[in-house]
């Protein structure tokens, strides 16, 4: 296993406990994600996108094959708090302020070795543009602001790998586009490896260095597409550009073929 890889799988199968034998969701996944990469993931509903992220986060066991996270077993990576998760719903504690919500992983993780000797909730709040709201409660925030808190909370652990499962799926388009730019800035600042599941083809292209397309029935890898050809030297692209539209059409075709 290479040191430069954040995630490496070989013949990986994932699924859930069934009445007799495990029900397979994804099979034969061979994938290598380099450290610091931004990988977006597209695929029809139910093909196993969330299941894949859960396995990386060590929330479900592996059925077959190999999965290495930062060169070690997923359970070891999790124990060292190297992996953080952001979900579609921000799952904030309603009785804690914004700042107290962000401090939470530090308190839950007291017994673990913290990666940062100097916890910086204010720094992460600033990075997601919420310094002025640190004393508010979750019900006093918009959907976009709540997702920013969830991202700041994940960053507080200084994870090497950030797993994001449709984090902006419930937001309006303008807010989503703005958060896309903020996330790219955060990615550059932290150097984290990001795995980002989305239903939006445009979002997958805009954010990703490459995009993984999963297919359903049976769940499998359909394609891994490098996006560097549509990005400028800053890693950015224009959503309306002809190159982006062309890749988007190709991805939509793949999604149709894959059972979307």
Question: Helix, strand, coil shares of the chain as percentages rounded to 5?
Answer: 35, 25, 40
The residue among 7 and 216 lying less far from Mg ion, judged by its C-beta, is 216
| Residue 222 binds to ligand ADP (criterion: CB under 6 A) | no
User: Which of ligand ADP, Mg ion, none is residue 47 near (CB under 5 to 8 Å by kind)?
Assistant: ligand ADP
Among 13, 27, 50, 145, binds ligand ADP (CB under 6 A): 50
CA atoms of 196 and 176, how far apart (whole Å): 14
For the bound state, the minimum distance from the C-beta of residue 197 to Mg ion, rounded and expressed in Å, comes to 6
Which of 48, 138, 209, 258 touches ligand ADP by CB under 6 A?
Answer: 48
Angle at 219 between CA 218 and CA 224, to 5 degrees: 130
Q: Does 25 bind ligand ADP (CB under 6 A)?
A: yes
**CB nearer ligand ADP, residue 43 or residue 121:** 43
Q: What are phi and psi of 106, to 5 degrees?
A: -65, -40
Task: Check binding of 47 to ligand ADP (CB under 6 A).
Answer: yes
Separation of alpha carbons 100 and 166, rounded Å: 24
- The reply on whether position 258 binds ligand ADP by CB under 6 A is no
Instruction: Tell me which residues touch Mg ion (CB under 5 A).
Output: 49-50
Considering only 9, 27, 40, 51, the residue that binds ligand ADP (CB under 6 A) is: 51
Report the residue number, 23 or 93, with the smaller CB distance to ligand ADP. Answer: 23
Rule CB under 6 A: choose which of 49, 146, 153, 176 binds ligand ADP: 49
Residue 185 found at the interface with ligand ADP (CB under 6 A): no
In what helix (H) or strand (E) does residue 74 lie, and over which residues does it extend? helix 74-79
Element (H, E) at 204: helix 201-207
Q: Which stretch binds ligand ADP (CB under 6 A): 30-38, 43-51, 113-121, 135-143?
A: 43-51
Taking CB under 6 A as the rule, does residue 46 contact ligand ADP? yes
Per-residue tokens: 93: 């504690």
Distance between CA atoms of residues 126 and 10, nearest Å: 39
Residue ranges binding ligand ADP (CB under 6 A): 16, 25, 43, 45-51
């Amino acid at each position: 296993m290479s040191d430069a890889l954040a995630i490496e799988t070989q013949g990986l199968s994932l699924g859930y406990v069934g009445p007799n034998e495990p029900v397979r969701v994804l099979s034969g996944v061979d994938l290598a994600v380099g450290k610091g990469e931004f990988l977006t993931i597209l695929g029809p509903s139910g093909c196993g996108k969330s299941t894949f992220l859960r396995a990386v986060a060590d929330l479900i066991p592996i059925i077959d094959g190999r999965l290495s996270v930062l060169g070690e077993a997923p359970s070891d990576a999790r124990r060292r708090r190297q992996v953080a998760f952001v979900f579609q719903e921000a799952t904030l504690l309603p009785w804690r302020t914004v700042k107290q919500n962000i401090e939470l992983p530090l308190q839950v993780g007291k017994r673990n070795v913290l990666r940062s000797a100097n916890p910086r909730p204010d720094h992460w709040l600033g990075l997601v543009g919420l310094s002025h709201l640190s004393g508010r409660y979750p019900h006093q925030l918009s959907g976009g602001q709540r997702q920013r808190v969830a991202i700041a909370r994940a960053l507080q652990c200084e994870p090497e790998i950030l797993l994001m499962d449709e984090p902006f799926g419930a937001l309006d388009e303008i807010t989503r586009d703005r958060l896309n730019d903020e996330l790219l800035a955060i990615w550059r600042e932290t150097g984290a490896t990001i795995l980002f599941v989305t239903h939006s083809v445009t979002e997958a292209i805009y954010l990703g260095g490459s995009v993984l397309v999963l297919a359903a029935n049976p769940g499998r890898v359909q394609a891994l597409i490098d996006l560097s050809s549509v990005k400028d030297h800053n890693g950015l692209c224009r959503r309306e550009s002809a190159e982006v539209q062309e890749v988007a059409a190709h991805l939509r075709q793949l999604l149709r073929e894959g059972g979307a």
